Amino acid sequence: MISVNLPKEVISVQNFVGGQWVKGSGQKGEVISPYNHEVIGEFYNSTSQDVEAAVKLAVKAQKDWANTPIKERTKVMFNFRNILLRDQEAIAHLKSAESGKTFSEGLAGLMKGIEVLEYAISLQNLDLGGKLEVSRGVQCEYRREALGIVANITPFNFPAMVPMWTIPIALTLGNAYIWKPSEKTPLTSLKIANALKEAGLPDGLFSVIQGGREAVEAIIDHPSIKAIGFVGSTKIAKLVYERGSQHGKRVLALGGAKNHIVLLPDANLDLSGMGISDSFTGCAGQRCMAASVLLAVGDVDKHIQKIIERASSLKLGQDMGAIITKEQVEFLKNAIDRAEKAGAKVLLDGRKAKAPAGFEGGHWIGPTILDNIQPGSEAASVELFGPVISIVRCKDITEAMAIENSVDYGNACSVFTSSGIHAERVIREASTGMVGVNIGVPVPREPFSFGGINASKFGHGDITGQHSLDFWSNVKKITLKWEKQVDSNWMS
Ligand code: NAD
């Protein structure tokens, strides 16, 4: 049995433009469920014509929206939250059916998105601007203003959470928003757009443009779209960043990852066994915060045994989901073969895992633990994006941190230890934007911002939390003098 209800009929999702679902003008595409490799949805790709239609309707809607007081904009977000909570189970099933997540992972992702929505709702009380008398009779003030029309391009692996990182904040700040979901997981956009409409968001402010590269390029190149958010692989993040920057746009493009966990002999056995196993197997390893390399410092064999025990107890389809495509399963199996040929010891072999009964056609691989991996090898430095962890043996923390620092990516690093001094050293030396101590998936919770560094992020600022506000808005600086005070000029 699997934990997810798959759709009984093929679901058709279109573009959402001007508050209506309309057919994209490009080729038809199919949505295939990783659970059984069957078609569960269809959509039409979009072209520049479709992007133009969305922009046209967004222009007027955005001006009115930006002139609406933030407390009124926030009311719509309150309604949006209530609708998402009401429909949480249906959304979690749909997003899991198209992305391969388990039901509980689908629900957890939605809840994290709702947490961002709650942060956006709190902006009316948190983000108050500022005003001060800076010299006699002279006041300085700052006000946050919307950018206009903004866009966001998202990956397959979090069909609701990643878009929800930006939708609530960008809309609450007064922007119109165009979303281009992954063509592999477009169905969740049905639920999100319908929820925003039901919440009372004026038509035109929120658009969904389905498709792939052509739609993305049309969005980046459109002169009326002022800012581009992107989350996906490093290769495409860099392309999007460079193309958008050439147009003089602000772009924040989050890329891939190769996250390290430093495991020290003084780590709590149960905490590390569970934390590390869950980190590399959660979402079947298809998350940018998944543990990918285990830097095993000194004698940690007892800890590794715990990780093996927990990972090997997971049942496919119930505790661990499926892989997005058949090709990706083949890539993972071949990468494990290559590591084995290069001398790796396979402590747990997911290549032989059994598919859940009745779902043999799906995209399955079990948790895989590779030992004796060499630093710099494929298994130690390339993002595999599956439930595979590579153990690199290290004699001390110095060696472990040198290996961590040698990888281009910079999303997350964690340490498992009971020593504050060792933890502090890893926090300081990690070449990543996010660090965990005895936490395998160190995702910051709101209002703390999410974002990596190095090849995991192109652009400035973070995608959520307080460090995202300046990305989705302009800060206008005002200097005022109303009093007729001739004894001092504005600088005095
Ligand atoms: P992807 O880069 O293939 O696709 C992401 C988006 O880019 C999709 O909407 C896709 O349609 C679009 N796209 C694909 N090719 C394009 C092209 N040539 N030109 C323009 N647009 C194009 O990524 P994916 O496979 O959907 O997602 C997995 C990747 O995302 C992993 O690398 C993962 O680490 C990363 N990711 C990063 C974060 C983060 O916060 N850093 C979060 C989630 C996922």
How many Å apart are CA 425 and CA 329, to the nearest integer? 37
Contact 40, 162 (CB under 8 A): no
How far is ligand 1, taken at its centre, from the CA of residue 236, in Å? 6
How far is ligand 1, taken at its centre, from the CA of residue 423, in Å? 32
Query: Which residue ranges of the chain lie beneath pLDDT 70?
Result: 484-492
Closest residue to atom 30 of ligand 1, CA basis: 232
The DSSP output letter for 387 is: S
Strand partners, 183: none
Nearest to 47 by CA among 30, 24, 14: 24
Q: What CA–CA distances, in Å, run from 331 to 38, 83, 96, 252? A: 20, 39, 22, 29
CB-based contacts of 56: which residues, under 8 Å, 6+ apart? none
> Residue 185 has what pLDDT?
98
> Residue 343 has what pLDDT?
98
DSSP class per residue in 405-465: HHSS--SEEEEE-S-HHHHHHHHHH--SSEEEES-SS-PPPTTS-----GGGEESSS-SSS
The ligand 1 atom nearest the CA atom of 237:
2
- Give the β-pairing of 225-231 and 291-297: unpaired
How many Å apart are CA 50 and CA 44, to the nearest integer? 11
Which architecture does CATH list for 259-437? 3-Layer(aba) Sandwich (3.40)
> Residue 156 has what pLDDT?
98
How far is ligand 1, taken at its centre, from the CA of residue 156, in Å? 7
pLDDT in tens, 274-324: 999 999 999 999 999 999 999 999 999 999 999 999 999 999 999 999 999
> Residue 482 has what pLDDT?
85
How many Å apart are CA 194 and CA 460, to the nearest integer? 32
Half-sphere exposure of 306 (CA within 13 A, CB side): 15
pLDDT in tens, 79-90: 999 999 999 999
Nearest to 402 by CA among 430, 434, 371: 430
Contact 48, 15 (CB under 8 A): no
Contact 99, 157 (CB under 8 A): yes
How far is ligand 1, taken at its centre, from the CA of residue 198, in Å? 29
For 474, counting Cβ atoms within 10 Å of its Cβ (0-12 exposed, 13-18 middle, 19+ buried), the class is middle
The ligand 1 atom nearest the CA atom of 451:
40
Tokens encoding 297: 């410092």
Give backbone dihedrals phi and psi of 91, rounded to 5 degrees, phi first.
-65, -45
How many Å apart are CA 291 and CA 272, to the nearest integer? 12
How many Å apart are CA 59 and CA 18, to the nearest integer? 11
Q: What CA–CA distances, in Å, run from 465 to 175, 214, 251, 413, 445? A: 17, 30, 17, 20, 8
Closest residue to atom 33 of ligand 1, CA basis: 256
The ligand 1 atom nearest the CA atom of 254:
41
CB-based contacts of 409: which residues, under 8 Å, 6+ apart? 234, 255, 256, 257, 258, 259, 383, 432, 452, 454, 455, 456
pLDDT in tens, 342-394: 999 999 999 999 999 999 999 999 999 999 999 999 999 999 999 999 999 99
Strand partners, 388: 368
CB-based contacts of 333: which residues, under 8 Å, 6+ apart? 351, 365
Please state, as a whole number, how many other Cβ atoms lie within 10 Å of the Cβ of residue 129.
11
> Residue 1 has what pLDDT?
83
Q: Name the CATH topology of 11-255+449-476.
A: Aldehyde Dehydrogenase; Chain A, domain 1 (3.40.605)
Tokens encoding 449: 């911002």
- Where, residue-wise, is CATH 3.40.309.10 in the chain? 259-437
How many Å apart are CA 355 and CA 433, to the nearest integer? 36
For 245, counting Cβ atoms within 10 Å of its Cβ (0-12 exposed, 13-18 middle, 19+ buried), the class is middle
How many Å apart are CA 65 and CA 56, to the nearest integer? 15
- Within 6 Å (CB) of ligand 1, which residues are found? 153-158, 162, 180, 182-183, 212-213, 216, 231-233, 236, 239, 254-257, 288, 383, 385, 411, 452, 456
The answer to pTM > 0.75 is yes
Strand partners, 180: 153
- Where, residue-wise, is CATH 3.40.605.10 in the chain? 11-255+449-476
Nearest to 161 by CA among 146, 181, 142, 176: 181
Nearest to 408 by CA among 451, 459, 454: 454
Nearest to 31 by CA among 207, 189, 197: 189
